[in-house]
């Protein structure tokens, strides 16, 4: 969701429970109409301003003019997560959750994804989301399993994507973003280099 309280609020990515959309194109104009379920969203509800889940930070971030590298990446990750939630194709949905993670944590976005980069992203996720050693190990394993399925999809493999796969991918992506929005020191970082330096220090304590 984007917008300001005194302006139009838009839900960018959404699904209708049912409905039909019709387009009418002529040389002079374009028309569109649709049928289906819709309802008002009460943006005064405390949930949409809650600090603990990062919603309050998202509203402030959307309205901020000068955004840091981490803030820009956070918003892009939120967009990919929104795409993934809305997409009814499980394979496409999984890929978009991984895009959210890659876009947030890949040190140099223009680089090709290599095994070393996958390992780096898994390690970073472990320190961003996890608190204890065993939990961090599990996060790395979960991410690598999700990434294997993403790679199989990208290379035309006939991988079956289950609801459990999607749930794991969503939880990893979601908690990653929430950490950058609400959890010091990640919420205080400005650049990916800040993040890299912090995690390097954690590894060599």
Average pLDDT, 10 consecutive residues per value, the chain (205 residues):
45 51 62 62 76 82 92 95 93 96 85 80 96 95 94 80 95 96 95 95 87
Interacting residues of 167 by C-beta distance below 8 A, sequence separation 6+: none
What residues make up the domain containing 109? 54-203
pLDDT value, residue 2: 43
The answer as to whether 123 is a domain residue is yes
pLDDT value, residue 181: 95
The answer as to whether 147 is a domain residue is yes
The answer as to whether 26 is a domain residue is no
99-103: long-range pairs with CB below 8 Å, 24+ = 100/76, 100/173, 100/176, 100/177, 101/77, 101/125, 101/143, 101/172, 101/173, 101/176, 103/73, 103/76, 103/77
- In the chain, the number of structural domains is 1
The answer as to whether 195 is a domain residue is yes
The answer as to whether 92 is a domain residue is yes
Q: Against a cut of 0.85, is the pTM above it? A: no
pLDDT value, residue 10: 43
The answer as to whether 2 is a domain residue is no
Among candidates 83, 47, 77, which has minimal Cα distance to 61?
Answer: 77
Distances (CA, A) of 123 to 35, 39, 78, 84, 88: 46, 42, 21, 23, 30
The answer as to whether 145 is a domain residue is yes
């Amino acid at each position: 969701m984007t917008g300001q309280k005194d302006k139009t609020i838009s839900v960018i990515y959404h699904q209708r429970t049912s409905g039909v959309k019709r387009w009418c194109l002529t040389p002079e104009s374009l028309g569109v109409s649709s049928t289906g379920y819709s309802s008002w969203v009460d943006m005064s509800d405390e949930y949409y301003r809650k600090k603990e889940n990062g919603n309050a930070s998202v509203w402030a971030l959307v309205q901020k003019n000068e955004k840091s590298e981490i803030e820009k990446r956070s918003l892009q990750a939120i967009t990919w997560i929104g795409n993934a939630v809305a997409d009814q194709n499980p394979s496409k949905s999984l890929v978009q959750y991984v895009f959210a993670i890659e876009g947030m944590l890949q040190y140099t976005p223009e680089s090709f994804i290599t095994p070393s980069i996958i390992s780096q992203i898994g390690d970073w996720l472990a320190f961003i989301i996890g608190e204890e050693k065993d939990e961090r190990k599990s996060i790395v394993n979960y991410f690598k399993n999700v990434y294997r399925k993403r790679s199989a999809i990208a290379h035309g493999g006939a991988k079956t994507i289950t609801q459990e796969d999607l749930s794991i991918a969503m939880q990893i992506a979601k908690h990653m973003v929430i950490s950058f929005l609400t959890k010091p020191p990640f919420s205080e970082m400005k650049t990916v280099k800040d993040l890299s330096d912090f995690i390097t220090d954690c590894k060599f304590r």
